[in-house]
Chain A
Amino acid sequence: MSTATFAHDHDHHGPPSGIKRWLYSTNHKDIGTMYLVFALIMLFFGGASAMAIRAELFMPGIQLLEPDLYNNLVTNHALIMIFGAVMPAAAGLANWMIPLMIGAPDMALPRMNNLSFWILPAAATMLILSFIVPFFPGGGSQINTGWTIYPPLSLQVGMSMDFLIFAIHLLGISSVLASINIIVTIFNMRAPGMRLLDMPIFVWTWLVTAFLLILVVPVLAGGVTMLLFDRHFGTSFFNAAGGGDPVLFQHLFWFFGHPEVYILILPSFGVLASIIPTFARKPLFGYKSLVGAMFAIASIGMVVWAHHQYTVGMSLGAVSYFMIGTIIISIPVGLMVFNYIATMWRGAMTFETPMLFAVGILFMFTFGGLTGVMLAVVPADMQYQDSMFVVAHFHYVLLPGAVFGLFAGVFYWLPKWTGHMYDEKLAKIFFWVNIIGFNITFFPQHFLGLAGMPRRIVDYNVMFTEFNTLSSVGALVFGLSHLLFLYIIIKTVRGGRQASSKVWEGARGLEWELPSPPPFHSWNVAPQMK
């Protein structure tokens, strides 16, 4: 009986065909691909809302978007980019690469893997519905709260807020399931002889990220559930008139929201730890200190959330604590950046597209990190808070820190996934247009904030015109450059020069021992570690 089952399994070499391959998939490579395709689609949704926002801000006055639609797009842009684009893309990389990197045949819980992906399209549908329902008669007002959905404002919004709350619940469930799967895989499925401290840093980053997700996502789910109860079931958790506390929601939200930043950034930093040694042709510098730094980031990052709310009127003692805690995070983050620079130092570098992105990230993320230290300083934050300076800062951290790291990872592993080399010349053009557009978009916003322009306003005084126009022009370049990204990916999937199994001259690690593309079932026999 068991022999028969085995024999059946051995016959099963290729993927099943048709729609069932994707709907019923329990294969980590197919699920990884679906995550990545989903993220790419969402990237364009989120990008389109950002382009609409920048088009409205191109000049003073209200030209294109009614104020509520503007605020709704601001909300959607954030939620789609965070939950729809960056997190699924990072999960896609995890699904594809963790089993290959640790020598496992698949994820530990393949059916749950299928579930955690297929919840996402449902969540995205709810999210898009929350945007669409107000356009129908009786659909209520639009979500004009921003992604922070602070009450009491979020208590005023119509039924679209309920769609959003359920979308957040679904996204949370998906993330927690995926995280459990990743943790179980990493702890149980490593190749014999591979100790935890032998794992690639990318695997480490996802281990820490998965724990962070399990710790903080339920807090957000609880917070939005309380919001739902306040809206419909007569409770007053956040309603001051009923004895509730509007600031409580901010604490719950940012208890999730601040670690979320590290959830977005850590996997991309893991990608850098693979890329930089490859193209510097020397071993990663400071492996153990990178692992230690990650744990420090995760644990300190959990207890500094209130630096997002310095202006709510906390006591001197409380703001001092949150300020010092926040500034201290620069130590592990600085150590990570240092280790990457030290890996480049005295290397024999070449600059293929993944490396271009990696070096660009080190420049721009360092800059974003330093404005982060400025924002952590409470007295100065009394000016920066909720101004365009903050918008500039977090885009300098999250685009290089998270999104560009994912781009780098896609270019780095695309030949492995598809078996084809991407068009290096086009990819380099994409890199340069992309980062130049990015800097033109976000650099001027620092000045807008310092000069007194608040964020999330649909219309502004003429004194802010010049930098806004410049920023919008940059955004057009930046936004359109992603069409080139899409084109390069499609072109690579459809064909191209055959990639060798090692792909890159300096590449090290188990994933490069498999052919490109790897067989549908890989590491059926676990590799032996030295």
Chain B
Amino acid sequence: MPVMNGINRHLLPLGILAAWVGSASAELGLNFPPPAAAVAQEIYNVHMLTMKIATLLLIIVFSVLIYSVYFHRKSRGYQADQKFHQTWFGNWSWVLVPVLVLGVDLTIAGSAQRTLEKIWVVPAEENMLDVKVIGHQWWWEFEYPDQKVKVESRYMPEDKAGALYLREVDNRLVLPTNRKIRFLHTSADVNHAFWVPELGFKKDAIPGYITETWAEINREGVFRGQCAELCGTWHSRMPIVVEAVAPDKFDAWIKQQQQIKLASAAEASASKTWNKAELMEKGQGLYNTKCAACHQITGQGLPPAFPALKGSKIATGPIKGHLDIVLKGKPGTAMQAWNSLNDLEIAAIVTYERNAWDNNTGDIVQPADVKAAR
């Protein structure tokens, strides 16, 4: 018994250390977050295997180095072995070392290749959910083409997001569990990259390309990621938040989104003439979410990259020119074509921009004007 106690006493600090490292790795994030998809699990496994082999090699190399630095020094009176490079080891190490390293390499590459063959190509399946991921400067657009639903996802400002600032968005990417999902990535402007560590894959969203990844999420939960390819000024403000829900909840969510879409389309196409106050109110809300990232809430922009709208020639000049740039964008700049917005939304934004911040043109743009300008 005393012996046991002695051992326990010796092991106690180790136990505390292990517990601390364990809790610290959860809190501080020392490794990948727990995978939420089989693809991510495969990636996690190959990562751990490579890391273990690398650690083993590191220990071997470091041990040899430390041994040599400690023992083979002049101050210990060690005599240099002038013939060491001419021994059989010196003559044949150029074969031995590469063969050993090749063995390690093939172990790693072989395991990686097997994983790659399992995960790289998107499996062809009937019941797959397609999600189109479109990167914009600086927000994400998620489209469910078969369900005809679109979600615009933007970062949530610090006062609303609190501790989740830069990891929280206004509209999340809702996905079902236990169903294979195919992501189709592209971009409307510059390169972006879709990265949610729990789902495993990172993939670039490149204009003119459609890149594919897939995942089958195995548990409900909220998984957070970020844009991983430098995309300009507000690259840091492109969080991605996936909300994984059970399939029935997902179907209900899709229905709800479809109804919202129908309602707003009906509102926009109604041949109603809107008054200025209505358009200004709607316009302010839309402007602040969709336009203010660049042109700022104050309309003063961030010149020279993002011009001011306050007092600008376009926002106070002819309405046609203003509608044109909003609908068609400006090539070679971050100003994209906003023609995916409906007539009412564009009418409201343009009306707002022409009257806010002392622009005071007094112009009112109606959805019909937008329709004519398209």
Residues of chain A whose beta carbon lies under 8 Å from any beta carbon of chain B: 60, 66-68, 71, 134, 138-142, 144-146, 148, 150, 152-153, 155-156, 158, 240-241, 244-247, 280-286, 288-289, 292, 309, 311-313, 316, 319-320, 323-324, 327-328, 330-332, 334-335, 337-339, 341-351, 359, 362-363, 366-367, 370-371, 373-374, 377-380, 382-383, 385-387, 447-448, 450-452, 454-464, 466-467
Contact = CB atoms under 8 A, between A and B. Distances in A.
Nearest to A154: B190
B184 to A, nearest CB: 11
A283 B82 CA distance: 7
Nearest to A285: B85
Contact of B230 (A145, A348, A367): A145
Contacts of B121: 316
A233 to B, nearest CB: 13
Contact of A348 (B73, B94, B165): B73
B264 interface: no
Contacts, number: 303
26 contacts: A60-B165, A67-B236, A140-B304, A247-B206, A285-B90, A288-B94, A312-B209, A312-B211, A313-B203, A328-B105, A330-B104, A335-B97, A342-B84, A344-B69, A348-B79, A348-B80, A349-B74, A370-B57, A373-B105, A373-B108, A374-B54, A382-B202, A447-B31, A454-B235, A459-B237, A463-B29
Contacts of A367: 58
Interface stretch (B1-9, B109-117, B357-365): B109-117
Interface in B224-241: 224-237
B42 interface: yes
Nearest to B64: A341
Interface stretch (B174-182, B191-199, B346-354): B191-199
A206 B58 CA distance: 29
Given A345-B84, A348-B79, A156 B232 contact: yes
A467 B206 contact: no
Contact of B72 (A323, A328, A347): A347
A134 B304 CA distance: 8
Given A313-B212, A349-B74, A373-B50, A383 B202 contact: yes
A461 B208 contact: no
Contacts of B230: 71, 144-146, 148, 150, 153, 386, 455-456
Given A158-B304, A282-B84, A459-B236, A246 B191 contact: yes
A373 B49 CA distance: 12
A339 B84 CA distance: 12
B228 A366 contact: no
B323 to A, nearest CB: 21
A284 B93 CA distance: 14
Interface in B27-86: 28-33, 42-43, 46-47, 50-51, 54, 57-58, 61-62, 64-65, 68-69, 72-75, 78-82, 84-85
A190 B185 CA distance: 57
Nearest to B191: A150
B127 interface: no
Contact of B84 (A285, A450, A457): A285
B226 A152 contact: no
B94 A289 contact: yes
Given A152-B190, A380-B47, A342 B32 contact: no
Contacts of A328: 102, 105
B108 A240 contact: no
Contacts of A319: 116, 120
A311 B212 contact: no
A282 B78 CA distance: 12
Contacts of A337: 61
Given A67-B236, A378-B116, 8 more contacts: A71-B235, A145-B230, A153-B190, A285-B93, A346-B81, A349-B68, A374-B50, A458-B236
Given A152-B189, A386-B202, A460-B236, A313 B211 contact: yes
Contact of A316 (B93, B116, B200): B116
B47 A374 contact: yes
A284 B85 contact: yes
Nearest to A336: B97
A456 B54 contact: no
B80 A281 contact: yes
A380 B85 contact: no
A332 B359 CA distance: 67
Nearest to A349: B73
A200 B368 CA distance: 80
Most B-side CB within 10 Å, residue of A153, A245, A283: A153
A327 B28 contact: no
Contact of A346 (B80, B101, B119, B195): B80
Nearest to A288: B94
A139 B113 CA distance: 49
B195 A359 contact: no
B200 A383 contact: yes
B167 interface: yes
A380 B50 contact: yes
Contacts of A448: 29
A150 B236 CA distance: 17
Contacts of A286: 85, 90, 93-94
B331 interface: yes
A282 B81 contact: yes
Contacts of B94: 286, 288-289, 292, 335
A246 B206 contact: yes
Most B-side CB within 10 Å, residue of A138, A379, A466: A379
Nearest to A62: B236
B84 A334 contact: no
A394 to B, nearest CB: 15
A146 B331 CA distance: 22
Interface in B204-261: 204, 206-209, 211-212, 224-237
A387 to B, nearest CB: 7
Interface in B150-188: 163-167, 185
Nearest to B208: A240
Contacts of A327: 105, 108-109
Contacts of A285: 84-85, 90, 93
B98 interface: yes
B344 to A, nearest CB: 28
